[in-house]
Amino acid sequence: MDQSIKFDLDLINRYDKSGPRYTSYPTALELHEGFGDAEYRQHIAKSNAAGGPLSLYFHIPFCDTVCFYCACNKIVTKNRAHSAPYLDNLCQEIAMQGALFDKRRKVNQLHWGGGTPTFLSYEQMQRLMDTTREHFNLHTDDSGEYSIEVDPRETNDKTIAQLRELGFNRISLGLQDFDPDVQKAVNRLQSKEQTFAVLEAARKEGFRSTNIDLIYGLPLQTEQTFAKTLDQVLDYAPDRFSIFNYAHMPSRFKTQRQINETDLPTPAVKLEILQMVGKKLSDAGYVYIGMDHFAKPDDELAVAQRQGKLYRNFQGYSTHSDCDLVGLGITSIGRVGDAYMQNYKELDQYDEAICAGRLPVFRGVDLDEDDKLRRAVITQLICHFDLTFSKIEREFNIVFSDYFGPELENLKIMRDDGLLSMNANSIKVQPAGRLLIRNICMVFDKYLAQKQQQFSRVI
């Protein structure tokens, strides 16, 4: 499989508009409050009848300090005691949800995100993992894909050894940028020594995959400064990179109001940075997975993409398309059966539901047949950059050209622009279209027209 990209400045400028990242279809904007505890229980029952493995996501919302660019649901506090009542509720939710899922279903994937999961003490982390093992069927032979996001400023050699002991075998390190002026502008001071010590410790302890998170488009960044950061990280050759486009949306995310907008790089500079990133990583032997993600050719994501087994969910790209995703903790989103569901976003509402013995789900959405069909099309395109119509036709009993006649007509402009090739049987995204895969997927999104202003820009 050709996993290369082509940087075409003219195309990027013309197609750079707002749109979803498609970690789900329909997107989270379609979740509504007519879906709660009772509806979720019904979908769990249907899911158990179908069987199959599970994926668990835990949201740990606490951070010691605030990063001004952050758009995550977090609670900023230096008081570690604040995590204790949350952990009590989270363990209770694990017990409640675990009682509803068939114990024979293996947990093939587990992820702790945040916030900063290592805000918790080792004793708290051990309690959380022990409770999970008590109520869900976790692997005991290290064959599961169990990952955690860490802030190197909150982590050391001892922490990494403890995480490995708890069963984690994949790790993602938040960095964003090493430039001192950029770090001051976003209130995230982090040294190279801290970061690479954690990366090396993870390798020493036997973590099977290491990822580095970077962000381009932050205040005071230039192509030259970001290239220096990227070169320093490449010297340590992590297995994966997640290099995100900063979306400045201060009307939605209050902490972003601390950023001086006049310091933000221009769209032209952001494009220079993106082009440089693509070239450097390609020259270093990494392949483009899609949607800001790069990996070594032998990484599980790259292999899964070549084998046609890549999937996309609320944590990004995944190798576990067969897993129902169970969300635990405030604001977490799950996908169980033919529905998406989300927990309460506020601590007091979450606490009230747990104390009342209710699942803390406050909204969700049932997928109809059209949703499932369009999800299959978008997932195939965003994960594998090609789509064979006959596969969709067999699965959903449709004639593709009839069902998607207007969409295929709209794609002809992209075909003429060189983003994709298309014939009577298939669509194939070309290297020039891979950075713009969101645009291609947007053609198949029936909800997009009235919601487009709520999404970040593609580039």
Mean pLDDT across 35-56 = 96
List the strands of the sheet with 386-388, edge to edge.
386-388, 426-429, 420-422
Q: Answer whether residue 2 shows pLDDT above 70.
A: no
The predicted-structure confidence for 257-273, as pLDDT tens digits, reads as follows: 999 999 999 988 998 99
Give the pLDDT score at 194: 94
The predicted-structure confidence for 99-137, as pLDDT tens digits, reads as follows: 999 999 999 999 999 999 999 999 999 999 999 999 999
The predicted-structure confidence for 278-320, as pLDDT tens digits, reads as follows: 999 999 999 999 888 999 999 999 998 888 888 888 878 888 7
Angle at 45 between CA 42 and CA 46, to 5 degrees: 90
Question: Which run of H or E residues covers position 108?
Answer: strand 106-114
Place 69 in a pLDDT band, splitting at 50, 70 and 90: very high
Give the pLDDT score at 314: 80
What percentage of the chain reaches a pLDDT higher than 70?
Answer: 97
Mean pLDDT across 403-416 = 96
Give the pLDDT score at 451: 62
- Max alpha carbon distance in the chain (Å)? 61
Q: Answer whether residue 249 shows pLDDT above 70.
A: yes
Q: Answer whether residue 56 shows pLDDT above 80.
A: yes
- Going along the chain from its start, the domains and CATH numbers come out as 1-26+369-459 (1.10.10.920), 31-326 (3.80.30.20)
Helices marked H in 51-152 — which ranges? Answer: 83-98, 122-135
Report the mean per-residue pLDDT for the chain: 93
Cα 24 from chain centroid (whole Å): 10
Q: How much is the pTM?
A: 0.92
Given a contact cutoff of 8 angstroms between Cβ atoms, the answer to whether 82 and 269 are in contact is no
Give the pLDDT score at 459: 64
Distance CA 426, CA 405 (A): 13
